[in-house]
Amino acid sequence: MKTEHVNQITEAVNAVKAMDVKNFYFVACGGSMASLATGDYFLNRELDIPSRVYTSNEFVHVDPKGLGENSVVILRSHSGTTPETVEAAKFARSKGAVTIAVSMEVESPLCQAAEYVVHYNYKDGSDAIDGETGVYFSLIFGILNAVSPNEKYDRVLKQLSHLENLFETNKKNTFDRAFEYGKENKREKIIYTMGSGAYYHQAYSFTSCLLMEMLWIHSNAIHSGEFFHGPFEITDFDVPFLIIKGDGPTRPLDERAINFAEKFSNKVEVVDVAELDYTGVDEDLREYFGPAIAGVVLRQYADGLAEHTGHPLSVRRYMWKMEY
């Protein structure tokens, strides 16, 4: 990892270590919020300190009672310019919280507003450990190790160096299927996504950012556990589902949803995270790496749809084009 990133992460982790943390807040919008939510999931699973995710504007308007000097607020904005997130950083800081901004732009308004900055490289040829996932996972497992030291977090931090290979291998292994998926589904007007645990946020991100924002395909991200409490009534032979079968404690929830969906729909695509390649990752650490690897694999499914629909992922009608 680049020295710049090591230093930034160390500074942020030391700040967390030096305080008596009462709660963590993860604050961002859209895809950035979904990315942060993986950290929230791990903190909730590993620590007894409460943590929660907010979309930036709600965070400011709700003004959570627990927000104060003993709070750690982690904000993320890819561009560093999303106004709601910049406002949330200023707000959290005014409440005395420790603020950590994660962004690809260190000169951005978000990074200027927050106390600590953690930068990542984006599509510039850097190794994956310096990219968004490598840097963010290093921050989260650094925080976990600082708050509740455990040798397994040390091993996660070391094995994150395999991310580059894991991304490449898994992208290669799933490319053909993702491309085929795009071909098979290019005429679909609606595609539901499903997932649970850390993967629910990836379903959300796939629905909101990739299908709705970038491909203009109607969608809804359904939690596998919630499927049976309303949404499953929509299931029929011609209703498409893209279901993430996670690698973690909530996998049984996904299996139950898949069993049902496959019984009544002919259009169920399952992305099984347990079948991905985890070379270099200890057996007991797979749960931590699955969400990191699944992200790049899922992106290829969107690339497959873009290729076959002829709708590039870069096209927007409203976003960043007008006041809203």
Positions in the binding site for ligand GLP (CB under 6 A): 29-32, 77-79, 82, 85, 209, 213
Q: Pick the closer one to ligand GLP by CB: 119 or 267.
A: 119
CB 216, min distance to ligand GLP, A:
13
Element (H, E) at 145: helix 132-147
Q: Pick the closer one to ligand GLP by CB: 77 or 196.
A: 77
Parallel, antiparallel, or unpaired: how do β-strands 23-28 and 71-76 relate? parallel
Torsion sign, CA atoms 268, 299, 222, 317? negative
Q: Pick the closer one to ligand GLP by CB: 109 or 195.
A: 109
Look-up: residue for tokens 């002829």?
A: 310
Helix (H, G, I), strand (E, B) or coil at 23: strand
Among 107, 54, 116, 63, residue whose Cα is nearest residue 85? 54
Q: Using CB positions, name the residue nearest to ligand GLP.
A: 30
Query: In angstroms, rounded to a whole number, what is the distance separating the alpha carbons of residues 216 and 231?
Result: 21
CB 266, min distance to ligand GLP, A:
30
CA-derived radius of gyration, the chain: 19
Q: Pick the closer one to ligand GLP by CB: 31 or 39.
A: 31
CB 201, min distance to ligand GLP, A:
12
Query: In angstroms, rounded to a whole number, what is the distance separating the alpha carbons of residues 24 and 156?
Result: 21
Q: Pick the closer one to ligand GLP by CB: 136 or 153.
A: 136
Q: Pick the closer one to ligand GLP by CB: 70 or 112.
A: 112
CB 167, min distance to ligand GLP, A:
18
Query: Cβ contacts of residue 289 below 8 Å, gap of 6+?
Result: 156, 159, 166, 278, 281
Distance from the Cα of residue 291 to its chain's centroid: 8
CB 85, min distance to ligand GLP, A:
5
CB 319, min distance to ligand GLP, A:
7
Parallel, antiparallel, or unpaired: how do β-strands 98-103 and 71-76 relate? parallel
Query: In angstroms, rounded to a whole number, what is the distance separating the alpha carbons of residues 258 and 276?
Result: 18
Among 137, 201, 200, residue whose Cα is nearest residue 163? 137
Q: Pick the closer one to ligand GLP by CB: 144 or 292.
A: 292
CB 317, min distance to ligand GLP, A:
13
